[in-house]
Amino acid sequence: MINRQLISSIVAVAALAFATAANAQTPTASQQNQIQEAQEKFTAADKNADGKLTLEEAKAGMPRIASNFKKIDTNNDGFVTMEEIKVMILK
């Protein structure tokens, strides 16, 4: 028989996940357009198609990203991903 405390914990985690998803920011039409445009530019700038931009790739294909590279690279790994760019757009 499953422990009641375990069931209670599972229900609490599920409720928290649902509440977090429900409160997630829905992008505006303008933000959606910015994300789509950024994705197209990102794909063109990502010369080795590894899913991340080096500073050099950003300078060549996404100069605004390059000028804000350190700010966008939130995990400080030396690369900018499309996910990091999306976060910047949605702020």
Percent of residues, the chain, with pLDDT higher than 70: 74
CATH no. for residue 63?
Answer: 1.10.238.10
Burial class (CB in 10 A: 0-12, 13-18, 19+), 60: middle
Q: Are 45 and 57 in contact (CB under 8 A)?
A: yes
* Domain presence at residue 15: no
* Domain presence at residue 63: yes
Confidence band, pLDDT 50/70/90 cuts, at residue 6 = very low
* pLDDT tens for each residue of 25-61: 799 999 999 999 999 999 999 999 999 999 999 999 9
Q: How many domains does the chain have?
A: 1
Nearest Cα residue to 86 out of 51, 52, 36: 36
* Domain presence at residue 67: yes
Question: What pTM was computed for the model?
Answer: 0.71
Mean pLDDT of the chain: 85
Task: Tell me what pLDDT residue 25 has.
Answer: 72
